[in-house]
Amino acid sequence: MAQSDIKRVVLAYSGGLDTSVILKWLQTTYGCEVVTFTADLGQGEELEPARRKAEMLGIRPEHIFMDDLREEFTRDFVFPMFRMNALYEGQYLLGTSIARPLIAKRQIEIAKLVGADAVSHGATGKGNDQVRFELTYYALNPNIKIIAPWREWDLASRTKLIAFAEAHQIPIAKDKYGEAPFSVDANLLHSSSEGKVLEDPAVEAPEMVYMRTIAPEAAPDKATIIAIDFEKGDPVAIDGVAMSPATLLTRLNELGRANGIGRLDLVENRFVGMKSRGVYETPGGTILHVAHRGIESITLDREAMHLKESLMPRYAELVYYGFWFTPEREMIQALCDKSQEMVTGRVRLKLYKGNVTVIGRESPFSLYDQDLVTFEEGAVAYDHRDAQGFIKLNALRLRTLAMRRARIG
């Protein structure tokens, strides 16, 4: 791609050292105008410093976009994923993965709005995020140009980044001069910590890594009991109080934090081919995952549930790999959402020292029939004698196999 082809680029900008260096590098290397986009996804950081830093680096005020996407993030990305009960490799609730398509989507929207030729991100050439961003870019604008500085420049160390920043009068926070003990990515759903002190999977993560939860050992000795109401698979209220999606997830995060819930130390398989060790905290999401499975247990038909569960690993991989805006993800989502039409009701949960336990569930659409399952005698539309034929029919192939073994043995 010829540098002269780029006149204006939309940069996913946090205001930190890396993206501030990228901003100046784009200006000096491509000689282009930079438009910054900073997303509020509930990462818990003050975003105004990013605006001031962008202005200081010469970005025109009308080209600084700062969007509060917390409700859209929770409603249109987190909740659909949780309706599927998605877990990557059986454990990871995909907190970082699910944020990338929304950031990339908004970048493409801004690029169209301001007439930009290109978009840019700060993901490294070793990670999953470069794939997630760029698959979304191309899915939404097949002709967009993409600039990935970490795959182009020679600023391959923190020392070089700082030297570049100093040479171009980019302010550097005092804590950025030292080597960070680990890197952190956060949003309303979770926080992710990786690298440095966490690179050896044999060594326990130090307590300082955990920022969103107290240690389970330090959690209260008394359990917290809560109730979550669902409508068509989505949570709508806690303890009878209706809340917006982002407000509800924020409240579940508070409850999870106070009870030491949602910690995960995981070695996962990255899409690019290597294994990595990460420490995740997903307090509210962990509660929500357990609660949703609880309400499904009484409202979903057995075969519908099993079909949905068989597709879940594939869906989770699609999210993890960055294939959110694809026909296959949308097809599985449509099947999932069809299954959720009667997933309405209330789940009661016990939160205690890192654990979430379902202690009650009820629904106007429950398939649980107490007359059918009771061990007591009653007027029930179930004849025990019917089980004999059911068993013999299911055993037919097993009896046939056994007879063959007897003939040849």
For the annotated catalytic residues, the residue numbers are 18, 100, 129, 183
The Cα–Cα gap between 131 and 125 comes to 9
Angle between helices 245-258 and 283-299 (to 10 degrees): 110
Closest CA to 242 of 260, 230, 232, 255: 230
Spatial contact of 98 and 319, defined as CB atoms under 8 Å apart: yes
C-alpha 313: how far from its chain's center?
14
Which residue, 177, 237, 41, is CA-closest to 14? 41
End-to-end CA distance of the chain: 71
> Angle at the Cα of 79 (from 295 to 190), degrees rounded to 5?
105
343's tokens: 């997933």
Of 148, 135, 136, 158, residue with least CA distance to 26: 148
Distance CA 86, CA 82 (A): 6
